[in-house]
Amino acid sequence: MKAYERIIQFFLFLCALIAVLGVILITYFIVKEGLPVIQKVGFLNFIFGKQWAPTQQTYGIYPMILGSILATLGALILGVPIGVGCAVFLAEIAKPKIANIIRPGIELLAGIPSVVYGLYGLVIIVPFIRKTFHNQGFSILAGSLILAVMILPTIINISESAIRSVPREYKEGSLALGGSHWQSIYKVIVPAARSGIIAAIILGMGRAIGETMAVIMITGNSTLIPESILSPIRTLTGNIGIEMGYASGEHQQALFATGIVLFLFIMILNVVANLIPKKVGE
């Protein structure tokens, strides 16, 4: 091996090492700062406690966990059918000229700052919900609608790549056996690409759980357990984003402990995504 190849190999290894080291340092810092509160309150009490009152030294994040889960589930219910449908359209139905027009729009959705989504929700979606359902408008529904739009680029791009990776022989065989174009899509191509589509959904779920700014602006930020889809909520990320600016002492440690729980959520989702076979149809 030539000397310059060894230098490049070492440089690439160093880059990978720095990336891993960064994750390790962040994990250590979050755990170091948040673990004392979890040890004091108790992990189960911290997770399932229903009251968040830092001034009374009461730290229960169950309402925030429930808020994050409900907003994410709502986003998946709304966003997954649209995202997968759009991916199928781009990969199998749309003409190249039409697809070339739609794809830049999808990429633009991915590049829009989350605060812009929040402003749109605050000006358009929240007043619409308020007028339609005669409530305050800040709700799970508002958050789910915005998050559904935000996860579309992830779901569409990965699902389309998975569908395009299915061998063309699958479709040709289906057509040769008398199947229609649509039958070949939903009975052969989509099932063969299911691993990639599921991975896209899981990554979209991670995107939704980790969103902060847009959610803070339109969900109402209530620490009470929601009673319906029109109830206001506060998510785990929203809890950290709202209170970290003025928190100190044990209160700040409790927010870091919230970060530990959020970190566990994201880590579990990444592990699940990595366990899904990467080879389409495997």
> Mean pLDDT, 10 residues at a time, over the chain (282 residues)?
81 92 91 92 91 91 94 94 94 89 89 92 94 91 94 93 89 85 88 88 90 92 90 93 89 93 86 64 47
Residue 276 has what pLDDT? Answer: 65
3 state SS of 220: strand
Range of the domain at 38: 3-46
Residue 147 has what pLDDT? Answer: 95
Q: How many residues does the chain have?
A: 282
Residue 279 has what pLDDT? Answer: 47
Distance CA 204, CA 148 (A): 9
Residue 125 has what pLDDT? Answer: 94
Q: Are residues 67 and 33 in the same domain?
A: no
Distance CA 282, CA 271 (A): 18
What's the predicted TM-score (pTM) here? Answer: 0.89
Residue 221: name the closest of 32, 48, 71 by CA.
Answer: 71
Q: Are residues 26 and 79 in the same domain?
A: no
**Does residue 52 fall inside a structural domain?**
no
Residue 72: name the closest of 275, 211, 267, 230 by CA.
Answer: 211
**Does residue 280 fall inside a structural domain?**
no
Q: Are residues 120 and 239 in the same domain?
A: yes
Q: Is the dihedral of CA 203, 206, 212, 214 positive or negative?
A: positive
The domain total for the chain is 2
Buried b (16+ CB within 10 A) or exposed e, 29-51: ebeebbeebbeebeeeebeebee
Phi then psi for residue 46, to 5 deg, are -70, -40
Residue 1 has what pLDDT? Answer: 59
Residue 117 has what pLDDT? Answer: 94
Contacts of 22 (CB under 8 A, 6+ apart): none
E strands along the chain, which residues? 52-53, 58-59
